[in-house]
Structure 1
Amino acid sequence: MDILSGAYASVPADSSWDQQTEQLFYKTLKEDVAISGLEIPFSGQLNRFGNEWFYAQLNSNWRSVITCIPGTMAELSKDPYFGIASDNEVGRSKAIKFYQQANQQIQQFNSYFNKQMVTHVLIHSAPTINEQVPSSVRALVKSLNELQQWDWHGAKLVIEHCDAQVNTQHSEKGFMRIEDEIDAITTVNKHAKQRLGISINWGRSAIEAKSCNGPVEHIKQCIKADLLTGLIFSGASDTSDVYGVWKDSHMPPQFNDFDCINNRDSVLNEEQVKRCMQLQAGTKLDFVGCKISLLPNKQSLATRIKYIQKTLAMIKDCIN
């Protein structure tokens, strides 16, 4: 099981970091033997400083996952019908073309290192659902059937579940229900060249349920369907002024021996991590990891590294 860091979420969202600082950030991570690889964002390219620069920052032994959520959200800001689950054929076709671009980037990534560097591609059941923008299992099945026929250069396709649209409550992503994602993948897997799976982001499932029980229930459903592939720990809060109330802001967990006032009201802690890791113990996860942001943005590079390392150490302790 690979241990991943969604390190990009720990980089300041503003322009306070220059290229040299980000280079030092990745240099420190590259030397950390506890990390098997990264969760790398795709939004047209893999890093704001360009792919060639980014490749040079990576450990050539890492086995990484590409997440398409940043690019998906960027496209949704321009076209609300965008998404592989969209009932709008134009919007669905745009999403297919977006994943073609991601596919090409993975080929280039592997070619640079002359070996497979990407193990999984996280895809998403956009669009954000509302009365004007419907989605369906039928549309998602159609898209997944197309995507799984491509050569993904050794990588496996995985739907990363994001918080679903639930009745009238506010959603962060508002994508498809996990029951519908399971239904679609189960249908496609009957004839797929390579089985698709599901990855759970702890924070997004907690946001959907407004409870720590959300991730647990989603993990149970995926295990029952024999689809659980990955698990990423990203926190959330029901009270935080800094990270927001049930916002997908990648809040760090609470720590027993190291704490900061800004993450003391995180609902993610060692008990919740242990609960999830014990639950999946009988399965064979391909990857587990963390994705955390440090707010406010003035947090130092050293502090950001420390939070990543402490979170990964907590996860590893719960595996053993």
Structure 2
Amino acid sequence: MPSTSPARTPYVIGAYAAAPSLVGWDPVAEGKFLASVFALEGVAGLEVPFTGKLHKEDEAWFLRQLPDDARFVVTTIPGTMARLQADQSFGLASTSASGRRSALDFVQDALDSVKRLNRHLGRPAVVALELHAAPVAAGDAASAAALEASLTELARWDTAGARLVLEHCDALIPGHVPAKGFLGLEAEAEAVQRAADATGHPFGMVVNWGRSVIEQRRPEAGREHITYLRDRGLLAGVVLSGCASVDTRYGPAWADVHVPPAPPESARSGPSDLTISSEGVLEPASLLTIGRIEECLEAAGPLPKTGFRAIKVAAPPNASVEERVAAIAQTLTVAQRASPDPTALAISADDA
């Protein structure tokens, strides 16, 4: 059962980035992993990857693992990247009519999955559906106008209570090899604001800390992007996911591989019940430090007005189930230590 003590910020967990199923399908191990994640103090629910279904191996099995009181954010990024491999014009921001139509059809499939999850739990459990401004913004392949047109059409659809939010991925920057290479933050924000003004749908945007930093090659970029969106009333969520400027066990420098945060300095004090045993789990080379988490959460401001808070980190290579859970648990502990006092904070379908 997820626990959201009123003394701690509730976090949605992108557990799929550390799941045992990344290296092979074992329903016993996967079930143990999910149950252990839900049991962590401060977990509100999951960020669920949509690839065409809600679990790449067995959606029906996955739905049976879900607690009755959890909340969910469904992300379309895994399916978006897979479809881009087959069709470089695919995306909601595509200037290709066929590429944009394919992306809209994909979102319809994702919304059908939102409805399946809600029906299974008997309530509107999905608070947000994360969309993305594919394709790669090279030449005239993508535009804010095309993205606005897509969002305006989506606002007329039945979202089953889920808020449609655009997660900013790293923009295409001259001289950088991109991880995603989508539209820039300002262009996305313009499209989102115009679509919201035209339709009345509460569109918003989500900042993934690691992806913003990968874009700019500066650790300040995450906080800057959060501040930019909050100032415009568009901030709908913050995802704490790290990156590194050097090669690590998780992947090469500046790769979008969900590097866990750096261990807090031993001299830093925190609440006595928040103990950290980070050996082998947290990443010393990570640019996501407790100080930067504090700055970002302060910049984001209060819940639920500014959306949800999420954690998405990978586990060390060849990790056991226990080590995979520990990667999430230790990151959650760091985030809770950095979080401001969350007075009366809660995630709800109406507020997120």
Query: Same fold by TM (over 0.5)?
Result: yes
The one of 293, 298, 302 equivalent to 2:314 is 293
Where does residue 130 of structure 2 map in the other structure? 122
Moved more, 111-120 or 252-261: 252-261
Q: Is 1:139 the equivalent of 2:159?
A: no
Any unmatched runs of 5+ in structure 2?
Answer: 1-8, 265-275, 342-352
More relative contact order, 1 or 2 (CA 8 Å, 6+ apart)? 2
Q: Which digits, 9 at most, give the CA deviation of each residue in 1:98-139, with x for residues without a partner?
A: 0010011111111111111100000000001223x6111110
Question: Is 1:274 matched up with 2:289?
Answer: no
Corresponding residue number in structure 2 for 1:20: 28
Amino acid at match of 1:295: P
**Candidates 307, 315, 329, aligned match of 1:309:** 329
Contact 1:172-1:247 within 8 A present in 2 as well: yes
> How does the TM-score come out when normalised to structure 2?
0.87
Query: 2:103 corresponds to which residue?
Result: 95
Letter in structure 1 aligned against 2:240: F
The superposition leaves residues 222-276 of structure 1 with CA deviations (integer Å, 9 ceiling, x where unpaired) of: 0111101100111100012422100000000111242338711111110110010
The answer to whether the 8 A contact 1:237-1:251 is kept is yes
1:145-196 Cα distance to aligned partner (Å, 9 max, x none): 0111111000000000000001232100000100001100111111223210
Q: Does 1:250 align with 2:271?
A: no
Asked if structure 2 preserves the Cα contact closer than 8 Å seen for 1:5 and 1:291, the reply is yes
After TM superposition, the structure 1 = structure 2 runs for residues 175-190 of structure 1, keeping only pairs within 5 Å, are 175-190=182-197
- The answer to whether the Cα contact below 8 Å between 1:40 and 1:67 also exists between their aligned partners in 2 is yes
Percent identity of equivalent pairs = 32
Query: Residue in 1 aligned with 2:235?
Result: 228
TM-score (ref. length: structure 1): 0.95
Matched AA of 1:309 = A
Aligned residues: 318
Which secondary structure state, in structure 2, belongs to the residue aligned with residue 122 of structure 1? Answer: strand
- Does the 8 A contact of 2:135 with 2:182 survive in 1? yes
Letter in 2 for 1:79: D
Match of 2:15 in 1: 7
Q: Which runs of 5+ in 1 are unaligned?
A: none
Are the equivalent residues in 2 in contact too, given 1:121–1:157 (CA < 8 A)? yes
Q: Is the 8 A contact 1:19 1:49 kept in 2?
A: no
User: Retained in 1: the 8 A contact 2:48–2:74?
Assistant: yes
Distance 2:336 2:242 in 1: 17
- State the SS of the aligned residue for 1:171: coil
Deviation of 1:13 after TM superposition, in Å, equals: 6.3
CA drift of 1:58 comes to 1.0
1:148-187 alignment to 2 at 5 Å? 148-187=155-194
Offset of residue 17 of structure 1: 4.8
Query: What secondary structure does 1:100 align onto?
Result: helix
* Contact 1:2-1:286 at 8 Å conserved across structures: no
Q: Which stretch shifts more, 200-209 or 238-247? A: 238-247
Alignment counterpart, residue 113 of structure 2, candidates 85, 101, 105: 105
Rate the CA distance shift 1:208–1:141 in 2: closer, same or farther, 3 A.
same
Following the alignment from structure 2 to structure 1, what is the Cα–Cα distance between the partners of residues 72 and 282? 29
Distance 1:32 1:262, change over 3 A: closer
Contact 2:282-2:330 within 8 A present in 1 as well? no
Q: Residue in 1 aligned with 2:6? A: none
Deviation at 1:14, TM superposition (A): 4.4
* Paired position in structure 2 for 1:72: 80
